[in-house]
Structure 1
């Protein structure tokens, strides 16, 4: 099987875009490595459903391009990455999700940006409108002795434009735990078109998301549902 780097994929996508070539699915030599990697990492079908890739994600932290399963350290992931993707539909909008698949209270949202313009995905992710930044970026910070965590990036095509992401949150910064990616995609009528992941493990000085949660309450606006919340020392992702 031919394995292409993201640099090669980016060149190919640029050529296709320049020729106004539009497809509903990636060529097999691009799509199959993505599908195989996600299955080998137990991301599909355990966390994400079986799907046919229609795009791919070019993710850059600084000058480093993230390959499938790339191992990173938390100090490299403090700031949000630059992300670009070839939109299957230039007229559609997209939602990007980053979550920790191996948190003590799975799953934990690290980043969600909605209403990303298919015609300008890079700038829409880099400089989102406040109402589209559903969950502000928080870099991975796995706890000590928790092993390597899988951090999954998933890209979805939206069925509607400029939609209000559900559920409406009381606090977009603090409520991150107990994330249900399957329910989230159903609630927002999202179609999965691309995914990848990276790995990270504990690094001293990067101690987690304990301060990012509100104990005893759900994340849904208007609700005050009691939920089991681990002690603060365990809420590190």
Structure 2
């Protein structure tokens, strides 16, 4: 399946991000995920490795992971922010692996509730559009969304709106990926 088609069929573009310029490499336990791949929740317990081969040297990026399906598909209360971190990428080697610069929201594994069906977990990598808090290492402008950050509980993370957050900080997505997960521990469904 075409990447753009996968994002459209799962109602990710243009609702949560306008376009998908490039696929973000996301891997759990050394296994890279393909857009729309179904993963059992048990495989998402550890923070994933992220790499981006088109990274610019000495540039900060924001990596976000959201769940837009808290109680229902496209939950009207907003997304759950599962992870938000400022990162830099190794550009001196071929891996392009992310190195954390500042954690804003610590990684929270997939947490779909029993009976809530499949949830989409969307990864977005964003950089400053031209001038903004992420350009030239100026990451001090990006603030936690709650007073409990970075160790926010699920309630603190609810009601996030990625489009608004990106606009607030003058960011644009440069790469994205997504997976599907359900509450069942060993199978997708």
The equivalent residue for 2:63 is: 96
Q: Do residues 183 (structure 1) and 155 (structure 2) align?
A: no
Find out whether 1:77 has 2:49 as its counterpart: no
Q: Distance in 2 between matches of 1:168 and 1:41?
A: 27
Is 1:150–1:200's contact at 8 Å kept on the other side of the alignment?
Answer: yes
Instruction: Give the 5 Å matches for 1:128-167.
Output: 128-129=100-101, 132-158=102-128, 159=131, 160=135, 161-164=137-140, 165-166=142-143
User: How many positions carry a matched residue from both structures?
Assistant: 167
Distance in 2, Cα, partners of 1:197 & 1:52: 11
Name the TM-score, length of structure 2 as normaliser.
0.79
- Tell me how large the CA RMSD over aligned residues is: 2.2
Structure with bigger RCO (C-alpha 8 Å, 6+ apart): 2
TM superposition score normalised by structure 1:
0.64
Report the 3-state secondary structure (helix = DSSP H, G, I; strand = E; otherwise coil) of the residue aligned with 2:85. strand
Which of the numbers 7, 15, 21 marks the counterpart of 1:46? Answer: 15
Question: Equivalent residue of 1:152, what SS?
Answer: strand
Render the CA deviation track for 1:14-62: whole Å, top value 9, x for unaligned.
xxxxxxxxxxxxxxxxxxx32221111110012212x361x43111111
Distance 2:41 2:8 in 1: 25
- Contact 1:68–1:198 under 8 Å retained in 2: yes
Task: Answer yes or no: is the 8 Å Cα contact 2:105–2:144 preserved in 1.
Answer: no
The structure richer in helix per residue is 1
**Runs ≥4 in structure 1, deviation > 2 angstroms?**
87-92, 115-121, 166-169
The structure with the greater share of residues assigned to strand is 2
**Ranges in structure 2 where 5+ consecutive residues have no aligned partner:** 72-76
Q: Secondary structure at the match of 1:43?
A: coil
